[in-house]
Every structure is written in C-alpha cells, then in structure tokens.
Amino acid sequence: NAGVTQTPKFQVLKTGQSMTLQCAQDMNHNSMYWYRQDPGMGLRLIYYSASEGTTDKGEVPNGYNVSRLNKREFSLRLESAAPSQTSVYFCASSWTGRDTEAFFGQGTRLTVV
Amino acid sequence: SQQGEEDPQALSIQEGENATMNCSYKTSINNLQWYRQNSGRGLVHLILIRSNEREKHSGRLRVTLDTSKKSSSLLITASRAADTASYFCARAGWGKFQFGAGTQVVVTP
C-alpha cells in the first residue's frame, strides 16, 4: 500500500531557483494538504484542497503556489526559492468528514542556499 | 499560530516508565487527535477522541479530554525504546487539521 507518496525526498536549491514538489495519494481521499515543518514550530499549513479543482490558502501561503491536478495529485511550487523556505515539507490527505484522520507522506527536505 | 500547544516540549524517561504529555487548545473542537513522528518520517495517526468523549484507550495509549479546560492528555504506559518519537496533538474536524509544536519523547533502555 503506497498511501501518500512525495517526490523528491531531498532537494538543494539556490536562491531564486524554482521547483515543484509532487504528491500523490492512492486512497481516493477528497482532501489534500501541504505543510511545512520547522524546528520548534510544529506543522504549519501552506495550502489545502478540499476537492479536485479547489485550493485554499493556509497559514503560510506566501511564496508558494499549488495545483490540484486531479483527485490523486497535489503539487506545491516554489517560483523563486528563498533561504526562509528551507524546511521539511509534508503532503497529507484525508476524507472530508467530521472524524477523519490525516495520512502523511514521508516528507521532502528542502535546503535553499 | 498553532491551535494545539503541547507540554512539555521534551520528555526523557526510562523503559517501563509511563510518559504523559498534555495539549491545550484555544477554540472549540470537533475532535482532538494525537500523532507520532519518528525521526525523519511523516506523522502517523495514533488516536482520535471526539468532543463528547472524556477518555479513550488504544493498547498502551490512554487519551483524556477536558473540554471545559480545553485540554487533552496522552499517556503511554510501560514505555519502550521504540516509543522514542515526537508526539503531536491536532485540533481537527471536517477536513481541517491544526497541529501543535509537539513533545519530543526519548525512552532510554
């Protein structure tokens, strides 16, 4: 069972470069999420998608864009990377119900130099 | 800002001891969830407690919820080295999850 798959697992970018983080889930979930995790900060929501074709900003959306390509895939794009975007990025998915749990990918460790 | 705040930030215990961590939140909840994160991995769901429940058990895990105090606690009984991880609470419901900063637990043999 693949669950939530993120690529790549590691990435080093130079300031100003762009890249797209890919995420795919095989659980037929409606909702998908992108979080970033920084030391001592827990997980902060960047963007989420409640269903195919819809996306909404989370707590820290600046500097990011997302695309819900289809029900399975939700990508996160950094148009012009900055050192402040050095972080570990997690994709997650869930059903959209009252008492549902989130399933997480393994994370992408991004360093911007 | 986090909706769930865990306390303590770090906890070090020996195998066989119990580990207790607390979570406070600011606004009303549909449910409160606890997740574990092993080093370098994604979060894994442990247990969910609904807003109308006061206590829930799952194996060696015991979760309590006090909605009047807006707080929850997670107790891990008879800790093992494999319980070494970070533990996060999440205020959740209807597809929304808001996580706290987590408690780092180290269990030494």
For chain A positions 43-102, those within 8 Å of chain B (CB to CB) are: 43-45, 48, 50, 59, 90, 92, 94-102
Mean pLDDT of A72-86: 97
C-alpha to C-alpha distances, A110 to A9, A22, A64, B39, B86, nearest whole angstrom: 8, 13, 14, 16, 20
Query: What integer pLDDT is reported at residue B4 of this predicted model?
Result: 60
Strand partners, A38: A42
> Are A43 and B44 within 8 A, CB to CB?
no
Name the residue among A4, A42, A48 with its Cβ closest to that of B88. Answer: A42
Structure tokens at A109: 């460790």
pLDDT in tens, B19-50: 999 999 988 889 999 999 999 999 999 999 99
Phi then psi for B99, rounded to 5 degrees? -100, 150
Query: What integer pLDDT is reported at residue B3 of this predicted model?
Result: 52
Mean pLDDT estimate for chain B: 93
Query: What integer pLDDT is reported at residue A1 of this predicted model?
Result: 65
Euclidean distance between CA atoms A89 and A106, whole angstroms: 9
Partners of A102 on chain B (C-beta within 8 Å) are: 33, 35, 43, 45, 90, 92, 97
Mean pLDDT of B1-22: 87
pLDDT in tens, A2-30: 899 999 999 999 999 999 999 999 999 99
> Are A41 and B101 within 8 A, CB to CB?
yes
Mean pLDDT of B88-103: 89
Strand partners, B50: B31
Partners of A30 on chain B (C-beta within 8 Å) are: 95
> Are A101 and B45 within 8 A, CB to CB?
yes
- B82–chain A Cβ distance below 8 A for any pair: no
> Are B43 and A43 within 8 A, CB to CB?
yes
Residue B84 has pLDDT above 80, yes or no: yes
Residue B1: band (very low, low, confident or very high) from pLDDT cuts 50, 70, 90: very low
Residue A86 has pLDDT above 50, yes or no: yes
- A33–chain B Cβ distance below 8 A for any pair: yes
Q: How far apart are the first and last CA of chain B?
A: 36
- Least confident range from A42-56, B24-38, B39-53, B89-103: namely B89-103
- A23–chain B Cβ distance below 8 A for any pair: no
> Are B88 and A30 within 8 A, CB to CB?
no
Angle at B24 between CA B9 and CA B89, to 5 degrees: 65
C-alpha to C-alpha distances, B82 to A25, B14, B76, B107, nearest whole angstrom: 27, 12, 12, 8
